[in-house]
Structure formats: structure tokens, C-alpha cells
Amino acid sequence: MQAPDIEEMTASFAPFGKGRPQFERYFREHEDGTRTVLIASAERTFAGYVTVLWRSAYPSFAEANVPEISDLNVLPQLRRRRVGARLMEQAERLIATRSSVVGIGVGLHEDYGAAQRLYVQRGYVPDGRGITSRGKRVAYGDSVPADDHLVLWFTKGL
């Protein structure tokens, strides 16, 4: 990621609720080494991005020093062209230079269906610790909203 990418990312993903502050933060974190942001293009056009968090906020990954692939996004008009798969491949290659395991979280509602399928097809398996909502483990009997914060966590050996 380079500073000029912020503008294109903001313009491309604003309709999906992702604003400039998020991409400015990603750039700062990319610059300081806490996050790596990989950018994809298709036909010389910005197509999407994925980030690697070298220190996950998910406690189970953080305790085990498992880097996390985070925030994979491909523009809707460029999906189903393997852009997401190629971003994942590059992120996994990068992580393999530092770790033998990679982690990822995926939302549980229907909007995440394509991502859920992609991760399973790529060999990710649930970490066996259940689901979280807003960073906290959901216990049996808890009621939580089915929103973007309801996440199942996966790992994969590299």
C-alpha cells in the first residue's frame, strides 16, 4: 500500500460503508509494520485489498502469535475472477515467511457466504473455540445480534 492508494480505496469502498479514516489508519499501520496491506488490480483497475495483522486482537491468535488475515474485500463487479483467491495466496505466502500458521475470522450471516466457502476451500478449519461477538466469546445461551461482529475463527497450517 502506498499513500495514493487511500483515495482510490476510499472512493471504491465508500458505498459499502468503508471511509477514508479506516484506510488512513491502514496506511499508518502499514507504514509502522503492525499491518501489511496488499492491493489487487484487474485490467489496470483497482480491484480490492486484504490486510495482514501481525498481532491479532483475537486473544487466542495473539497468545499463540498467529498472524491474522483481516478485511479481504473485492469490488462486487470484479468478483468471481479469482481476485480474492490471489489476494489470499499472496497474504499466505507473506505470512509463511514468519509463521507456520495463519488465522482468519469470518462473519456468520449470509453476506459472508462467499468468504466462508473460500476459506474452507483453501483449507481453513475452525479453531474449535466457538464464536465471538464484538471481541467477546459467545457462551451457550447468550443472545447476540447476527451482525458483522458475530465471527467464527479459523486457522490453517502453512
Q: CA torsion, points 51, 52, 56, 57, in degrees to nearest 10? A: -10
Total domains in the chain come to 1
Contact (CB, 8 A) for 125 and 102 = no
Interval 3-57: pLDDT, tens = 999 999 999 999 988 999 999 999 999 999 999 999 999 888 899 999 999 999 9
CA distance 120 to 126: 9
**Run of H or E residues at 41:** strand 35-42
pTM across the whole model: 0.92
> Is residue 155 included in any domain, yes or no?
no
> Is residue 38 included in any domain, yes or no?
yes
Q: Is residue 102 scored above 90 in pLDDT?
A: yes
- Domain region containing 89: 5-103+112-125
What's the pLDDT score for residue 27?
A: 98
Q: Is residue 150 scored above 90 in pLDDT?
A: yes
> Is residue 147 included in any domain, yes or no?
no
> Is residue 135 included in any domain, yes or no?
no
Kindly report the CATH number assigned to the domain that includes residue 56: 3.40.630.30
> Is residue 64 included in any domain, yes or no?
yes
What's the pLDDT score for residue 43?
A: 80
Interval 55-89: pLDDT, tens = 999 999 999 999 999 999 999 888 888 899 999 99
> Is residue 149 included in any domain, yes or no?
no
